[in-house]
């Protein structure tokens, strides 16, 4: 089972940006121990509200590690790729919501800092400490065989982003049911099995904003799928360049103001 479409200039640029953010995180923070956080939670939340779940497919170091592990698994073990069948997939995805509730409890009730040192947060209870240990397997090992395992079944932040984007719909993918010919090609390139062909709009539906489905996949002459930002159709390549530019500039500003 091959879950990723052939590389295009668009996917190549997206993966280069992903690689930059993942390498930045692992080299600067994990190896050199330098606090150079381009993934500040305030910025991430701001970007989710403004740009949708853009962060997930372009700048999240864990999402990127999981994505690259998935691609390696696709290449090395093409016959050992599994998707968890329905309805188990649906129920397992739901597990992220109680997990989110648990971490919100730590933050709001127990007063554990979330917007700071994540390791301190994870160390605050035995459960969260075991969670972070399992997280490394879920990010690096399991996606070799079960694509995007971590994002689908364990990332409680993604559950929170889904809820935020159910309310803040400034950026969304729309499907025109008049021009859609129901070929389901968009479903086949979606790494999260969001099934765009069955939706009128995609916003807060476990979409990762990878834009695979918008990358010359739709055969409909009128291109039934489109990206909308503040109610206007936008080109996914231009929008991605704008969003990543804004995110990077804001990150360096935060770094400059709070760390230096």
Binding site for ligand SF4 (CB under 6 A): 173, 175, 180-186, 189-192, 194, 196-197, 202, 207-213, 217-220, 224-225
Q: Least distance to ligand SF4 from the beta carbon of 173, Å?
A: 6
Q: Least distance to ligand SF4 from the beta carbon of 54, Å?
A: 10
- Alpha carbons 151 and 143: distance in angstroms, whole number: 10
112 vs 172, which CB is nearer to ligand SF4? 172
42-77 CB burial, b ≥16 within 10 A, e <16: ebbbebbebbbbbbbbbbbbbbbbbbbbbbebbeee
Closest CA to 71 of 31, 134, 18, 136: 18
- Say if strands 232-234 and 201-202 run parallel, antiparallel, or are unpaired: unpaired
Cis peptide before 87 (omega within 30 of 0): yes
73 vs 191, which CB is nearer to ligand SF4? 191
Q: Which whole-number Å values give the CA distances from 257 to 37, 73, 250, in the listed order?
A: 12, 41, 10
Q: Least distance to ligand SF4 from the beta carbon of 131, Å?
A: 25
Contact assessment for residue 143 and residue 70, using Cβ atoms and an 8 Å cutoff: yes
Tokens of 184: 């389901």
Contact assessment for residue 215 and residue 236, using Cβ atoms and an 8 Å cutoff: yes
69 vs 121, which CB is nearer to ligand SF4? 69
154 vs 173, which CB is nearer to ligand SF4? 173
Q: Least distance to ligand SF4 from the beta carbon of 216, Å?
A: 10
Q: Least distance to ligand SF4 from the beta carbon of 221, Å?
A: 10
14 vs 65, which CB is nearer to ligand SF4? 14
């Amino acid at each position: 089972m091959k879950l990723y479409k052939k590389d295009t200039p668009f996917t190549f640029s997206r993966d280069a940006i992903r690689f930059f953010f993942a390498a930045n995180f692992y080299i600067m923070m994990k190896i050199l121990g330098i606090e150079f956080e381009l993934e500040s939670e305030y910025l991430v939340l701001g970007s989710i509200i403004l740009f949708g779940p853009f962060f997930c497919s372009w700048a999240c170091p864990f999402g990127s590690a999981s994505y690259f592990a998935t691609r390696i698994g696709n290449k090395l073990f093409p016959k050992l790729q599994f998707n968890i069948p329905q309805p188990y997939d649906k129920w397992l995805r739901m597990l992220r919501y109680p997990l989110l509730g648990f971490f919100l409890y730590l933050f709001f009730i127990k007063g554990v800092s979330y917007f700071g040192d994540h390791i301190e947060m994870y160390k605050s209870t035995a459960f969260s400490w075991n969670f972070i240990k399992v997280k490394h397997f879920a990010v690096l090992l399991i996606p070799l065989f079960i694509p995007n395992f971590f994002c689908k079944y364990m990332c409680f932040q993604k559950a929170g982003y889904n809820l935020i984007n159910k309310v803040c719909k400034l950026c969304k993918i729309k499907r025109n049911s008049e021009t859609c010919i129901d070929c389901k090609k968009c479903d086949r390139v979606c790494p999260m099995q969001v099934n765009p062909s069955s939706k009128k709009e995609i916003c807060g539906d476990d979409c990762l904003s990878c834009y695979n489905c918008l990358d010359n996949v739709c055969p409909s002459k009128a291109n039934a799928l489109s990206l909308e930002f503040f109610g206007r159709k936008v080109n996914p390549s231009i929008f991605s360049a704008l969003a990543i530019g804004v995110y990077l500039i804001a990150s360096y500003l935060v770094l400059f103001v709070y760390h230096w």
